[in-house]
Structure 1
Amino acid sequence: MNKSIFNFSKALALSALSLLFVFSTVSCSDSDDEGVSCQGGDYGMSLAIQSTDGSYTYYTLAYNNLMSGTLTAQGQGIEQPGYYDFKAIDNTIYSLGGLDDVNVVAISQDNGCLSQAGDVSFPNSLSDLVKADNNTLVSVAMSSDSDIITFRKFNPNTVSVTETVDIQVSEFTDLVGLSYSGMVISDDHLFLSYYISDPETFATTHTDQAEVAVFSYPELEFQEVITDDRVGPIGGFNTKSGLVKDQAGNIYAISHSNPANGYSQSTKPAGILKINAGETSFDEDYFFDINDVANGTMVYAKLLSDGRFFAEINTEARANQAMWSDSPLESAIVNFEAQTVNYVQNIPAHAGDGRRLVGFEEDSNYYITIPEEDGIFVYQIDTQNYTATQGAEVQASFIAGFYKF
């Protein structure tokens, strides 16, 4: 059930807490140009392949057909030995590097070819990268063993840094072990969610409230920490979707405190809070009791074009979850405003990869890859009827990115 992949992620975290990633610019393709791959296709994947010595190589490549046959990376794609995180923003894939190569590289598609652009390195790993507007991306670098949070603004075309802002963690907490769980920009504020994880043992002994740090944008000046004791901390280890935003600018904060996602204890109910667009406090009148509605705890969420969210929900009681397992998950379509959950039929319960959710929407379908006992398969989900169709098998250890160009 892919638990070995998540355990591998955990092992990397023990040596480099933020579990962030290496990127190299080696290319394996039909093109003679270094860093260019020309297989064609409007769909992309970043496939992780584990070697016999336990190391990984990633291949980012394009496909034409997702719903039949077998998808493989053998001899194709932009090749990257190491460990990576991939974030798709608009028509570009950004690779966030760490460990030996702490950098950002952009992969884009043009006329059927994937090419790399920009390559800027940093002293510390990036925890995440989000879109601020058409001209600006914002990254954050933070880890439980550092007393500094670093924001950077990027030009999305050149992947060059235009501004860097350092924030002392002591400005808003005396606790050590600040760990990233989510970041969104709405109007003139940046919201950063976090939880406290011991830098040496990874124990989470502070679980009595949700905490979100609020910064001004574009100045990136710290303003306040907002708290709510109806739930525990927001997000979890490496899921990166503790905070999600709808088209109107409303922000939803997802709290689960799951052992399956790195929590050593849970002292508050799971639930979802709301920060209304234009405001910097939790809405006291809004509380989504996700466990009551879905009989489970939400772990991942991704916005759909109609304002609902595709979500992955852990259906095991927290007391029965296996630590660090990222399972068992079931796929659902969730309406945060109406507080409804519709589970998707024809997708088996499955494990996650212990990293950010990958997948994309096209028309009224959402595409995701699901690890099963006999392989990894693409699923096409009808988001209106809540049914799924199994597609191509993917030959990989796990899928690190899944895109529509």
Structure 2
Amino acid sequence: MKKSSTLAIFAALIAFTSFSCSSDSDSPDGGTPSVGTDKTKYIVTVTTGASGVADYLLTTDDVTKGSITTQGNGLEQDGSYRFYITNQNKFFSLLYGQGNPGAVTTYALTAEGKLAKTSNFQAETVQVFAAVNKEILTIKVPRSGAAAIASMYRIDATSSLIVGGAQHDIKKLAKNGERAHYTWATQVGDKVYMPYMSIKGDGVDTFGTNYPDSTWVAVYNYPELKLEKVIKDNRTSYLGDYFTNGLIQDENGDAYGFSSAVATSNSVITSTKPSAVVKIKKGTTEFDQSYFFNIEEKSGGHKISSSSYIGKGKVLLQMYGNAGKNNGVAKLAVADVYAQTFKWVTNGPAVIKSTTTNYNIATEDNNSLILGINTPDGNWIYTINGATGVATKGMKVEGGEITAIAKLKY
């Protein structure tokens, strides 16, 4: 990127960003600074679903039992439509401004284990955010109209300050008359891999495509965010989905991509390839042609909705309840991407309204995944064992639906 372009980006950042950080990011308001012990607390975010009512942040020492409520408890956030990410033992809450700038609020735990705000500033509404090294990478992706420049911002996770960025033309990236719309971003080694879907972006069939049976991953170096390569395949469809991560890196450094294969044109599913898992070996920038895990076949015709990495090759999959359709009752399954085996989760709720999808946490032994499951009968935190696929019901959450689960040390 030319220096003049970089200066233009920073000028734009200054124009829309207003900082009000605390003088010491390790000294949150409301208590003695954390000294970094091994004690932990879980953060459970809850929304009431009511118009204009913000999400609540609840904290607890144990999510495997008991109950917790929003009534007279927790921190109420400013504004609804919040999204979350953690890095450097900080909890970031991003307000989706629906086209307008939104707040980026940072929280940390005090030495007493109290959740407190450490900074708050206005930034562009973004569709992609990911932890990369000691930073948060956020990306604003235009979906239609004349705008075709995706803006990437690097936020220092310790200071909560924007420290750099880049801009990329997503029509030029697509090279097919449509536009590349990043579904998510994942750090793989020292680079950032960004799967994208090709969309018409015409304002009529905006997320429709004429290219339903192709897979793309844009590879960027970091921190410069210069495009190095686009990895391509045609054995399945795009990885992930809008606001849904579809690429993970395992403990061995290999990357696995998850495709629902539900690309549409004029609201009709046109994908002809199966919902599947593909692999990029460590140190390469090509799809491994010897690896193809056909999830649709193994599941009896169901398709992937979202994926969450448990560890040791085990992945929790939320599946579409109606085979081949982007709707229906959700079902949970565990896939082993090493052995290419698939099993349905047992002992879970019969009917699932929603889960915490992107906002789950693996246990420290990487054997299980902790997630929130909302049902017609109530909302609970469950632990799913990666080896057995057995779900164990834990804490009940009252006063709203669970939207995310995170964990911080203090």
**TM-score, length basis structure 2:** 0.79
In structure 2, runs of 5+ residues without a counterpart are 1-19, 21-27, 32-38
Checking the alignment, whether the CA contact within 8 Å between 2:322 and 2:329 is kept in structure 1 is: yes
1:43 is matched by which residue type in structure 2?
Y
Change (3 A) 1:141 1:350: farther
Match of 2:61 in 1: 64
- Mapping for residues 275-314 of structure 1, pairs under 5 Å: 275-295=280-300, 296-314=302-320
Which amino acid letter does the alignment assign opposite residue 61 of structure 1?
Answer: L
Aligned partner of 1:109 in structure 2 is: 109
Aligned pairs for 1:194-273 within 5 A: 194-199=196-201, 200=203, 201-205=205-209, 206-239=211-244, 241-258=245-262, 264-267=268-271, 268-273=273-278
Counterpart amino acid of 2:319?
I
Over the aligned positions, Cα root-mean-square deviation in angstroms equals: 2.8
Find the structure with the greater CA-based Rg. 2
Deviations 1:221-257 (A, max 9, x none): 1123222111112222322x11111122211111113
Letter in 1 for 2:396: E
Alignment of 1:90-239 (within 5 A): 91-99=89-97, 100-110=100-110, 111-122=112-123, 124-133=124-133, 135-145=134-144, 146-174=147-175, 175-199=177-201, 200=203, 201-205=205-209, 206-239=211-244
Note the alpha carbon deviations across 1:180-216, whole angstroms, 9 max, x for none.
3121122243211111344423442231211121222
Contact 1:204 1:263 (8 Å CA) reproduced: yes
Maintained 8 Å contact 2:87/2:136: no
Which of the numbers 380, 387, 390 marks the counterpart of 2:390?
A: 387
Larger displacement relative to structure 2 (59-68 or 344-353): 344-353
Q: Deviations over 1:258-310 (max 9, x none)?
A: 389x9742322211111111111111111111111223222222222434222
Residue aligned with 1:279, SS: coil
Give the direction of change, closer, same or farther, for the CA distance of 1:365–1:214 in structure 2 (3 Å limit): closer
Equivalent-residue separation in structure 1 for 2:256 and 2:40 (angstroms):
34
Mapped partners of 1:259, 1:214: distance in 2: 22
Classify the secondary structure of the residue corresponding to 2:379: strand
Measured in 1, the distance between the counterparts of 2:182 and 2:53 equals 24
Distance 1:266 1:226 in 2: 22
Are 1:48 and 1:399, in contact at CA under 8 Å, matched by a contact in 2? Answer: yes
Instruction: Quote the Cα distance in structure 2 between the aligned partners of 1:350 and 1:91.
Output: 34
Do 2:356 and 2:371's aligned partners in 1 also have CA atoms closer than 8 Å?
no
Counterparts of 1:56 and 1:207, CA distance in 2 = 38
- Give the Cα–Cα distance (whole angstroms) in 2 for the partners of residues 293 and 82 of structure 1: 39
Question: Conserved in 1, the CA contact under 8 Å of 2:306 and 2:319?
Answer: yes
The CA deviation at 1:125 is 1.5
The residue identity in structure 2 corresponding to 1:381 is I
Gapped runs of 5+ residues in structure 1?
1-24, 26-32
Provide the C-alpha distance between the structure 2 equivalents of 1:258 and 1:69, rounded to a whole number of angstroms.
39
Moved more, 199-208 or 215-224: 199-208
Percent identity for Structure 1 against Structure 2: 21
Kindly provide the CA deviation profile for residues 331-359 of structure 1, in whole angstroms up to 9, marking residues without a partner as x: 22222121112322111354464874332
Give the 3-state SS of the residue equivalent to 1:144 in structure 2: coil
Give the direction of change, closer, same or farther, for the CA distance of 1:202–1:171 in structure 2 (3 Å limit).
closer
Moved more, 331-340 or 303-312: 303-312
Deviates more, 1:202-211 or 1:281-290: 202-211
Task: Tell me which amino acid in the other structure corresponds to 2:307.
Answer: A
**Could you list the per-position Cα deviations for residues 359-384 of structure 1 after superposition, in whole angstroms to 9, with x for gaps in the alignment?**
22224442222222211122222333
Partner of 1:274: 279
TM-score scaled by structure 1? 0.80
Deviations 1:134-188 (A, max 9, x none): x333222213124112222221111111111111223322434533312112224
| Corresponding residue of 1:12 | none
1:76 to 73, 77, 92: 73
96-105 vs 73-82, which moves further: 96-105
Give secondary structure in 2 for the equivalent of 1:107: strand
Equivalent residue, structure 2, for 1:334: 335
Find the counterpart in structure 2 of residue 45 from structure 1.
44
